[in-house]
Structure 1
């Protein structure tokens, strides 16, 4: 257990499950006071009870839906100043182009593009100059694949959002992480055969020879939150899959 985030207030949006939950745990382990923002506030509170860390009694949860600006504003007004905001929320529409649906595309765009910009709008004025935003992109933007067009486009946009916001919100920092295929629970909707096949293929296409773990991503997230001289960057935590 370290202290890189000792006493810092860290809001993790989408922190009730998958990568967000792991990032929240890592932040707590580094001494942060964690707030979980989620659509399912009851689930978020159940995760809060498991976080531990030096400030276990101070962790909390709040309702926040990145696709609903009033809920973003309400959360910002309720929380007041936060040091760091991590946005892991996402929505998937992984289908071939021939099967694309307007609402599916819009849901993904709201979660990965519109939502983070509105979060920045309402939380940046409440941040100290040493604060930061951490967004989540993904390998689909740099490794195109049939059926993942929406994911690739929205993940690619996140990298540009980080760069643009870093310029406009400075000295508040804005960065993004682009994870490779990670065994985080995100793909549990696939049957076991499909999931195993995808992981095997991803491992073969990675210089690291394996898929990512939630610890891989959470470690990078904590580093970026604490790295006060890094802004506007997208850090690829993908086992070198872009170069394989």
Structure 2
């Protein structure tokens, strides 16, 4: 495994959840970390907790902003994309506007970054997808399709951008602030119910996904891969 010491790491969506944990672990590994998101306030709060990180307000939905950001920055050793907002629901009940917003956020946002980002020769790009790409849900059809498209994009880019390495990490249910809007009792009951049905018998934590991201960042032979970290959700 290669060292992250003094490597320049950009974590888009690094102000909370999985992205925050990736940033924290990369810092611990000696990297020079920049976290980016749309919210200046969330970035400031995350930076206060993380310590020695740079911050950047960046909306991956704004093509000109993405292009401008990468044009004025030096090449990155590693870029991780964890930012996305994906409304969910059955296809026949989810409005087309919501469906377009979901695709715009998670797929096209990542596409814009991949198109504009500049990497060092042996750099890496890592997407965060989701296990619904392999185990569809009748109530989250679009999310599964978006995740599958993102993973396919990663495999193609691994060829196009070579020797830059491109991979994806596919999480199962992870206990992140995404679920904070749910009433606590309902959230706990859902986590317990899902955990009971998984081979791992537990819900994932952001650190579980960050471990996989750092593995991909520091393993020179890993490219075009999707690493599933889902507690056995696909096989369960």
The bucket for the TM-score relative to the shorter chain is: over 0.9
5+ residue gaps, structure 2, are none
CA distance in 2, matches of 1:43, 1:217: 21
Match of 1:210 in 2: 202
5+ residue gaps, structure 1, are none
- Residue number among 116, 121, 132 corresponding to 1:122 in the alignment: 116
Match of 2:46 in 1: 47
Check conservation: 1:5, 1:27, Cα contact below 8 A: yes
TM-score by length of 1: 0.91
TM-score by length of 2: 0.94
- For residue 16 of structure 1, report the CA deviation from its aligned partner: 0.7
Residues 1:142 and 2:141 aligned together: no
Match of 1:91 in 2: 85
Residues 1:176 and 2:168 aligned together: yes
- Residue number among 66, 69, 87 corresponding to 2:63 in the alignment: 69
Taking a change above 3 Å as real, the CA distance of residues 197 and 148 of structure 1, as seen in their structure-2 partners, is farther
> C-alpha offsets along residues 139-181 of structure 1, whole Å, 9 cap, x if unaligned?
2222222321121111111110110110110000000000110
Aligned residues: 235
CA distance in 2, matches of 1:186, 1:112: 15
Match of 1:12 in 2: 11
Check conservation: 1:45, 1:60, Cα contact below 8 A: no
Check conservation: 1:66, 1:110, Cα contact below 8 A: no
CA distance in 2, matches of 1:107, 1:118: 15
CA distance in 1, matches of 2:194, 2:213: 22
Match of 1:22 in 2: 21
Secondary structure (helix, strand or coil) at the match of 1:241 reads coil
CA distance in 1, matches of 2:184, 2:135: 23
Check conservation: 2:15, 2:46, Cα contact below 8 A: yes
What's the RMSD between the two structures over aligned residues?
A: 1.5
